[in-house]
Chain A
Amino acid sequence: MTAGPEPSSAPAPPLAAFDELVHGEPAAGASLTAAGIPGRGRVERIQKIVAYTALILISLLFFVPFLWSLSTSFKPLPETAHFNLLPHDWTLEGYRQALTQYNFARYMANSAIVAGSITLTSVFLAALGGYAFARLRFPGRNILFFLVLGTLMIPDQLRLVPIYRMLTIFPVTHWNLVDTYQGYWAIRMVSATALFLMRQYFLTIPRDLEEAAKLDGAGYFKTFWRVMLPLAGPALAAVAILEFQGTWNDFFWANLLLQSPDHWTVQVGVAQFSFTYGTLWNSLMAASMIALAPVVIVYLFFQRYFVAGVASAGVKG
């Protein structure tokens, strides 16, 4: 990992790095065609058969659990005792009960509130900071950026006790922020990964456009807001998606901080539901499907941005 960044160097946009993995091509290695080498045809065929057999087995391993659970979520409760692949009586009863009786409509709204607000602030603050670290010159910039990257080394598990203590009695103001959205939002307001992604992207944008804006007499903030942000669309999208997915899925902090049932996110709700009504399988699976759905949808449409997150995870180690 290069912690001491070279401001002048312009690495490829972080999105491009793993793009290839998603869109395939070019595949190296074993998929090499053996054209022109006599006697290779049979080996190629065997290799194909082995590859497809493995693919089918892995696919079963990956698809069956989800499809089985999805099917169960549409079954009436008595039917969950049987092993019919598809429901005999398709019903939305599991979903209806989960959403109304077991309060998942509320948990979904709570998740939407926290994930939405955290995504918004994180994108804005990461862009603002990322732009400054990429473009503006100020004394101590590299040290500060090193500090930002250094926070990637601090695991949540170490932060658990001090953060819990800080939010119980906030320094100076003595607010109690445990079990409030504000407290949860505050500790996740922006992430180093997001800021790092934004900075890397801004480094790749040519300077000419900014210079032109400056000549037109635009101030720094206006240049950032009107010129640079619109150019950073792909990076903004990647950061928004990563932050949304991370917050939507978060169990560790939500479970610790959002304690009262009125404040539970959908993930905490699923866990609590499994504690209390463990064998209402159709409702439990309906709740799980609801908890998975937003990320599934975002993933279907914006797959490539998720891979940008892996690329940066590789950077952060």
Chain B
Amino acid sequence: MRRPGAGREALVGYAFVLLPMAVFVLFFIYPMVYAIYISRYNWGILGPLERVGWKNYTSLWHDTLFRRAIKNTLEYTVWVVPAQMALGLLMAVVVNQRIRFRTFFRGAFYFPSLASSAAITAIAIYLLNINGLVNKIFGLHIAWFYDSRTALPAITGLNAWTTAGTMMLFYLAALQAIPTDVYEAAAIDGAGPWRTFRKITFPLLKPGHFFVAVVSIIGAMKVFDQNYIVSHGSGGPDYATYSIVLDIYNTAIKDAQLGLAAAMGVVLFVVIFVLTILQWAFFGRQEAA
């Protein structure tokens, strides 16, 4: 049975969503399809030169620069994810205590997560320059961003520091989901704080760990701004900070090889997509349990 006015309501509904949908289709969904299309061409500044099928993808295998970018990105990920998680968890546990000015500290620790990456990177460049504060404090003499051995670790430290606040918020939510009576039981059993944390809090945070890990990994795969800014876009010194996204950017903009760059984008997308699906699958199960 049709409600009176249903036709008019539907028309109004379409009118309301028309503009937002146009944006989503034109600038999100179409580009995704278009990226795959471009990736199957040898595509220069002026447009498609020849159709090459999957050759852009297979050539990525032998692309030494892309392999270097993958190696750097993975190396970065392997270090930054545990660092972010550990720092985030530590901060969450601390600001979950009954301490003074708790709200203030939560807000302050979260702030770097929402500050601009360019300004934060400029601050890092300043603090880590050879005559900078960090070297002064630790009695070192390292040009952090200009030495191929320390450039990537410096970015790792920087981003662990910046993003730990986000992880802190996720961990806080997970901490507060742990039922209080578990702790009461532990207290009655005479368990100390460290034992309580190790035996109860940490294991019960398992869904939290998984969620935070995936968010952190996906973020790490996309690392770009800091690498671009500390190396003037080159990924240097000596390709030490050359990340996957930096390779996509340079291949597309500097080398004008849009087909190859699009193929890299598709590969990165597939990796991120699989991670996201894993996360959803896992959390679907958690909620059902």
Seen from chain A, the residues whose Cβ lies within 8 Å of a Cβ on chain B are: 1, 18, 20-24, 26-32, 34, 37, 39-40, 43, 46-48, 50-52, 54-55, 58-59, 61-66, 68-69, 72, 81, 83, 125-126, 128-129, 131-133, 136-139, 141, 144, 147-148, 150-151, 153-166, 169, 186-187, 189-190, 192, 195, 220-221, 224, 245, 248-249, 251-252, 255-256, 267-268, 270-271, 273-275, 278-279, 281, 284-285, 287-289, 291-292, 295-296, 299, 303, 306-307, 310, 313-314, 317
Q: Is the interface of A mostly helix, strand, loop or mixed?
A: helix
For B249, list chain A residues within 8 Å (CB).
160, 256
CA distance A212 to B253 in the complex (A): 56
Q: Closest A-chain residue to B136, C-beta based?
A: A83
Mask, B15-30, CB within 8 Å of A = 1, is 0110111011101111
Q: Closest A-chain residue to B180, C-beta based?
A: A28
Q: Closest A-chain residue to B283, C-beta based?
A: A1
Asked if A28 and B183 sit within 8 Å, CB to CB, the answer is yes
Interface size class of B (residues with CB under 8 A): 35 or more
User: B50 in the interface, Cβ–Cβ < 8 Å?
Assistant: no
Asked if A37 and B123 sit within 8 Å, CB to CB, the answer is no
Q: List 9 A-B contacts (CB under 8 A).
A: A21-B106, A27-B98, A29-B178, A47-B97, A138-B10, A158-B31, A190-B19, A256-B249, A317-B280
CB of B13, distance to nearest CB on chain A (Å) = 3
Asked if A21 and B222 sit within 8 Å, CB to CB, the answer is no
CB of A168, distance to nearest CB on chain B (Å) = 8
For B179, list chain A residues within 8 Å (CB).
28
Mask, B186-206, CB within 8 Å of A = 1, is 011010110011000100000
CA distance A153 to B268 in the complex (A): 12
Known: A22-B106, A160-B265, A161-B258. 14 other contacts (CB 8 A): A24-B102, A30-B97, A31-B98, A37-B187, A40-B187, A52-B99, A125-B19, A136-B10, A159-B27, A161-B252, A165-B258, A249-B117, A251-B225, A317-B279
Asked if A1 and B98 sit within 8 Å, CB to CB, the answer is no
Asked if B169 and A161 sit within 8 Å, CB to CB, the answer is no
Contacts known (A65-B123, A139-B10, A287-B122); A166 close to B21, Cβ less than 8 A: no
CB of A54, distance to nearest CB on chain B (Å) = 5
User: B64 in the interface, Cβ–Cβ < 8 Å?
Assistant: no
Contacts known (A30-B197, A155-B272, A275-B232); A165 close to B27, Cβ less than 8 A: no
Select one of A30, A125, A160, A288 contacting B248, CB under 8 A.
A160
For B31, list chain A residues within 8 Å (CB).
154, 158-159, 162-163, 166
Select one of A62, A125, A186, A267 contacting B108, CB under 8 A.
A62
For B136, list chain A residues within 8 Å (CB).
83
Q: Closest A-chain residue to B193, C-beta based?
A: A47
Asked if A129 and B21 sit within 8 Å, CB to CB, the answer is yes
CB of A34, distance to nearest CB on chain B (Å) = 5
Q: Closest B-chain residue to A278, C-beta based?
A: B125
